[in-house]
Chains A and B, each alone.
Chain A
Amino acid sequence: MTEPTGDDRRDPAAPDPGTERASGTERIGRHAADATPAGTAAHTEGGVELDEQTREEAVQRADEHTEHLAAEGPGLVPDGEGSIVEQLAHMTAEELAEREAEVAEVVAPDRDIAVEVGDTLLSMDAVTMRFGGLVALDAVSFDLKRGEILGLIGPNGAGKTTCFNALTGVYRPTSGQVRLEGQPLGRRSRHQITRLGIARTFQNIRLFGEMTALENVVVGADARHRTSVVGALLRLPRHHREERQAIDRAMALLEFVGIAHRAADKARNLPYGDQRRLEIARALATEPKLLCLDEPAAGFNPAEKDNLMGLIRKIRDDGYTVLLIEHDMRLVMGVTDRIVVLEFGRKIAEGLPSEIRENPAVIAAYLGVPDDATA
């Protein structure tokens, strides 16, 4: 299940290198062409493999989608009558799998990433964070490879969230550097870092409560847009184009994380679990090169955690790189490719989940060391 480099669709040499989103035709057509048996697990889910016939159908569907965009507004359009949510309810397993593949294709990041899959995407280089006399991070270094799920674990107060804040620009490191694709983040502001390609969710959910779920996600999608105030005021063509693209992508994202039926509800009225999913969708909407999840499973029951693990894997398989802070060991061990362990602001271990599980330093950090052993 863990094949971090299995997704070769995001190769920089792939067609459609522009930062603008492709048209509906190109997008879905590309999906059909790419969906070889060696494609991602998402494509072959439910035993569906796309042959010539389905490829033609996909192209035809894409044409219809483009027509629909022009006529009715945005949205990946299923063939039948009724709203998308109604149609999803009546789909067979095969249709659902096909639909899921379509949605995943829209959700997939569509921007140039300078590093190849498997190479270092982000590196923390001896990052130190001092708050007065408190050293929250002490020369922490680790690399994140493109296409992997890296777990960041440690006991409470180990500096995990500080680490997150340092690499998303909330704090500026006292010393050391964070590099994305080899470029130091430097003194960039937080919104610039998001646009560069690091998105995050929050440990305490921080949605825009008075906005609908769809609007929340569109705010994330706006990070990739450039409509000016004058353009919006006079509704110039770019505004129209970007609005359609943003809504199109946001709707696909809501479906991707499984809360499409909540699209029209205000964020603050969503159930807790759906709010967490909405945060992930909003962060994905910025098309991040690196998605940082800060304890996404906090407050979840085991079944919900299983669902979340599935979602995190699906996100990775769709071409994203994930950094995960999590307390739940079963979840971390089950979903990550590599793990970095922090304790008291220092990195005490790094390795595969199986290695971390056996690492005496980690066991000591989590379970404590008997007094006579330290004496």
Chain B
Amino acid sequence: MTTSSTSPKTGTASEATPTTGRGWFFGLGDQWNSLPRPQQWAWLVPVVVLIYALPLLNPPLLTTEPGTNFPLALFDVARFALIAIGLNVVVGQAGLLDLGYVGFFAIGSYVAALLTSPDSVLWHIPYLWTLPLAMAVTMVFGLILGAPTLRLRGDYLAIVTLGFGEIVRLLATIVEPLKGQVGFQSVGHPPGTNSEGNAIFAVSNGTPWYWLCVTITIIVLFLVGNLERSRVGRAWVAIREDEDAAEIMGVATIRFKLWAFVIGAAIGGLSGALFAGQIGFVNNQKFDVPTSVLFLAAVVLGGSGNKVGVILGAFVVSYIPNRFVELAAYKYLIFGVALIVLMIFRPQGLLGARQRLLAYGRQAYLRIVGKPEQLSSDSSLKGEGDRIS
């Protein structure tokens, strides 16, 4: 009997790892991944503190004033980050092209508005309760949309979701109780007043809203990370890579696609409710297709399938129009050109897809080969690897 199959061939492992010079910026990720966990935390904690302190520091170069109120601009960034993380579950992880994500965002906004605004005839509940409720309602809508459509693939799914986004917006216009363009005034906000008796979470006061949104984003990041490093995240990536092979390897593809859709929808609804609360006013004007495309641009620009990447993309997409107000009118042109240029030179986005899919992967890889896994994804697009090597 031949047994040479198990004899190890050490020394060859490192040869296969492509070492492409990508500059310090893209090399940073690999350095980060090779750091031990405690050291990563040691770096992360001050970064998080800094992120929380940003609206108070109002750093000179970073600030968006006088054009835009800085804390409000930061809230915008945080809101986009949350949306991008949610959309990344659908587009980046599971590979389902969703052009109607704004529909879930709109439903979340309307749930918050309908249940807290004095303009609404429905019963009213405290604002904070609308956040989980908005998630629950959008999950139901995600299920309703996903169940019949997730048998479709690629382009067809994109068209159906595009239609969904438009349907939600048109319903808001047509259905009487949703008040179309008139909309809902003074949507609720979290309780609390300062020493002068004004509400802490006032429409004009971005800082507490920013902190709330950052906190929620961090919690969502943890939960989504838990999913990623489990059979759920592996099922999503397997579906993205090769849906047929995934199914034949025992992945219940329809079920996991539906889960990705529903979880993405819930995060979209949550960010919608936050948005409605901060802005204090909801009508049908903010949920058009270009907004949906802007969400998608944040994901694709930053690096679909990479949580840090999509946050970076969200920052770019939401911060630049606020920072350079004179450019805001041209933002779609600028992002359009940026996307085209990016697709030519770096089709995987600023940071390529990268995922850790095993809960104990770090120990396992060190145990078996003595080094961390190969994460440096040169491309999430197939065929790119051939060009490099």
With A168-B248, A214-B365, A251-B368 as known contacts, state yes or no: A41 contacts B231, CB within 8 Å.
no
Q: Are A223 and B377 in contact (CB under 8 A)?
A: no
Selected from A75, A85, A235, the residue in CB contact (under 8 A) with B8 is: A85
**Is B208 at the interface (CB under 8 A from chain A)?**
no
User: In the complex the two chains form, what is the Cα distance from A88 to B46 in whole Å?
Assistant: 42
The answer to the question of B241 belonging to the interface, with a C-beta cut-off of 8 Å to chain A, is yes
Distance of B29 from chain A, by nearest CB (Å) = 15
Contact of B226 among A41, A212, A214, A232 (CB under 8 A): A232
A234 touching B226 in the complex, CB below 8 Å, given contacts A103-B6, A313-B1: yes
Known A-B contacts A222-B231, A268-B385; A215 and B357 likewise in contact (beta carbons under 8 Å): yes
**Quick check: is B17 within 8 A (CB to CB) of the other chain?**
yes
Contact residues in A for B377 (Cβ distance below 8 Å): 210, 266
- Which residues of the other chain, A, contact B363 by a CB distance below 8 angstroms? 72-75
Query: Which residues of chain B from 211 to 252 have any CB-CB distance to chain A below 8 Å in the complex?
Result: 223, 226-227, 230-235, 237-238, 241-242, 244-252
Q: Is B195 an interface residue (CB 8 A)?
A: no
A66 within 8 A of B: no
Partner of A190, one of B13, B230, B247, B366: B247
Taking A45-B3, A258-B7 as contacts, is the C-beta distance between A247 and B251 under 8 angstroms? no
**Known contacts A45-B3, A219-B249, A311-B5: A263-B365 contact under CB 8 Å:** yes
A282 within 8 A of B: yes
Report the separation of the CA atoms of residues A168 and B4 in the bound assembly, to the nearest whole angstrom. 31
A277 to B360, CA, bound (A): 23
* With A194-B249, A222-B234, A261-B12 as contacts: A83 and B366 at CB distance below 8 Å: yes
Of the candidates A45, A85, A211, A242, the one whose C-beta lies within 8 Å of that of B368 is A85
* A344 neighbours in B (Cβ, 8 Å): none
Does residue B83 face the partner (Cβ distance < 8 Å to A)? no
Residue in A82, A208, A214, A310 whose beta carbon sits within 8 Å of that of B245 in the complex: A208
Closest-CB distance, B307 to chain A (whole angstroms): 15
Please determine whether B248 and A190 come into contact, CB atoms closer than 8 angstroms. yes
CB within 8 A of B361: which of A45, A83, A247? A247
In the complex, what residues of A have CB within 8 A of residue B246's CB? 208, 219
- C-alpha spacing A258/B192, complex, angstroms: 63
Whether B234 and A262, one on each chain, are in contact in the complex, defined by CB atoms closer than 8 angstroms, is no
Q: Does A195 contact B (CB under 8 A)?
A: yes
Chain A positions 262-276 with a Cβ under 8 Å from a chain B Cβ: 262-266, 268-271
Q: How far is the CB of A225 from chain B (nearest CB, A)?
A: 6
Complex interface: chain A residues within 8 A of B373 (CB)? 212, 214, 263-265
**CB of A351 to closest CB in B, whole Å:** 24
| Pairwise interchain contact A261-B244, C-beta atoms closer than 8 A | no
Proximity string of chain B (342-378) to chain A, C-beta cutoff 8 Å, 1 when within and 0 when not:
0000000000010101111111111111111110010
- Which residues of B sit under 8 angstroms from A195, Cβ to Cβ? 250
A215 interface neighbour in B234, B362, B382, B385, Cβ under 8 Å = B234
Chain B residues packing against A (C-beta within 8 Å): 1-10, 12-13, 16-18, 223, 226-227, 230-235, 237-238, 241-242, 244-253, 259, 263, 353, 355, 357-374, 377, 380, 382, 385
26 contacts between A and B (CB under 8 A): A72-B363, A72-B367, A83-B366, A88-B6, A89-B8, A96-B6, A103-B6, A189-B247, A199-B249, A208-B241, A211-B238, A215-B234, A215-B358, A219-B249, A219-B251, A222-B231, A229-B227, A232-B226, A232-B232, A239-B230, A243-B360, A251-B368, A261-B12, A261-B369, A269-B18, A271-B16
Q: Report A's interface with B, CB cutoff 8 A.
A: 1, 41-42, 45-46, 72-75, 77, 82-86, 88-89, 96-97, 99-100, 103, 168, 170, 189-191, 194-195, 199-200, 202, 206-212, 214-215, 218-220, 222-225, 227, 229, 232-235, 239-240, 242-244, 246-247, 251, 254-258, 260-266, 268-271, 277, 282-283, 286, 306-307, 309-311, 313-314
Other contacts beyond A84-B367, A189-B247, A232-B227: 19, CB < 8 A? A74-B360, A83-B369, A85-B370, A89-B8, A168-B248, A194-B248, A208-B246, A214-B365, A222-B235, A225-B231, A229-B263, A239-B359, A251-B368, A261-B369, A263-B364, A268-B382, A307-B2, A307-B4, A314-B5
